Amino acid sequence: MKDIFALVDCNNFYVSCEKVFNPKLDGKPVVVLSNNDGCVIARSNEAKALGIKMGFPAFKYKDLLKKHSVVVYSTNYPLYADMSQRVMNTLAQFTPNMEIYSIDEAFLSLTGFTSKNLIDYAKSIKGTVKKWTGIPITIGIGPTKTLAKTASKLAKKDPQYDSVLDITNHPNFDNLLDSIDVEDVWGVGRQYKKFLNRHDIYTALQLKNAPLEWIKTNMTVVGFRTVKELRGTSCITLEEIPAAKKGIMCTRSFGKAIESLEELKEAVASFVSRASEKLRDQHSVTSFIQVFIMTNPFKDEHQYVNSASVRLPIPTSYTSELINHCNQKLDIIYKPGYLYKKAGVIFDGIIPEDKIQLHLFRKSDLDRNRKLMKTVDYINTKWGRNTIQCASSGIQKKWKMRQSKLSSRFTTRWNEILVVKVS
Ligand SMILES: [Mg+2]
Per-residue tens of pLDDT for the chain, all 423 residues? 789 999 999 999 999 999 999 989 999 999 999 877 888 999 999 999 999 999 888 888 889 999 999 999 998 888 898 899 999 999 999 998 999 898 899 999 999 887 779 999 999 999 999 999 999 999 999 999 999 999 999 999 999 999 999 999 899 999 999 999 999 999 898 889 999 999 999 999 999 999 999 999 998 888 999 999 999 999 999 887 766 677 888 888 888 889 999 999 999 999 999 999 999 988 999 988 989 999 988 888 888 988 888 888 888 999 999 999 999 999 999 999 999 999 999 898 888 888 777 666 666 677 788 888 888 888 888 877 777 887 777 777 777 777 778 888 888 878 888 888 888
Nearest to 16 by CA among 7, 5, 8, 25: 25
The rounded Å distance from CA 225 to ligand 1 centre is 24
> Which residues are CB-neighbours of 319 under 8 A, at least 6 positions away?
272, 273, 276, 277, 373, 376, 390
3-state secondary structure of 292: strand
The rounded Å distance from CA 13 to ligand 1 centre is 5
> Which residues are CB-neighbours of 137 under 8 A, at least 6 positions away?
8, 9, 10, 11, 87, 125, 126, 129, 130, 163
Distance CA 308, CA 329 (A): 6
The rounded Å distance from CA 104 to ligand 1 centre is 5
The rounded Å distance from CA 137 to ligand 1 centre is 8
The CATH class given to the 10-95+108-143 domain equals alpha beta
pLDDT of residue 368: 82
The rounded Å distance from CA 366 to ligand 1 centre is 42
The rounded Å distance from CA 399 to ligand 1 centre is 31
Q: Is the pTM of this model over 0.85?
A: no
The rounded Å distance from CA 169 to ligand 1 centre is 25
Task: State the fold for domain 173-230.
Answer: DNA polymerase; domain 1 (1.10.150)
The rounded Å distance from CA 368 to ligand 1 centre is 43
The rounded Å distance from CA 299 to ligand 1 centre is 34
The rounded Å distance from CA 411 to ligand 1 centre is 20
DSSP codes of every residue in 93-133: TS-S-EEEEETTEEEEE-TT-TTS-HHHHHHHHHHHHHHHH
| φ and ψ of 139, to 5 deg | -125, 125
224 half-sphere exposure, CB direction, 13 A CA radius: 8
The rounded Å distance from CA 134 to ligand 1 centre is 15
Q: What is the CATH number of domain 248-393?
A: 3.30.1490.100
pLDDT of residue 362: 61
- Sketch the domain layout of the chain as residue ranges: 10-95+108-143, 173-230, 248-393
Sign of the alpha-carbon torsion through 246, 273, 13, 74 = negative
Instruction: Sort residue 189 into left (φ over 0), alpha (ψ -120 to 50) or beta.
Output: left
Q: What angle do CA 417, 420, 421 make, to 5 degrees?
A: 135
The rounded Å distance from CA 9 to ligand 1 centre is 5
The rounded Å distance from CA 26 to ligand 1 centre is 18
The rounded Å distance from CA 138 to ligand 1 centre is 8
> What does each C-alpha distance from 300 to 256, 257, 297, 391 come to in angstroms?
16, 14, 8, 35
Edge-first strand listing for the sheet containing 71-74: 40-43, 30-33, 71-74
Work out whether strand 98-102 and strand 105-109 pair parallel, antiparallel, or are unpaired: antiparallel
The rounded Å distance from CA 177 to ligand 1 centre is 20
The rounded Å distance from CA 31 to ligand 1 centre is 14
185 touches 147 (CB < 8 A): no
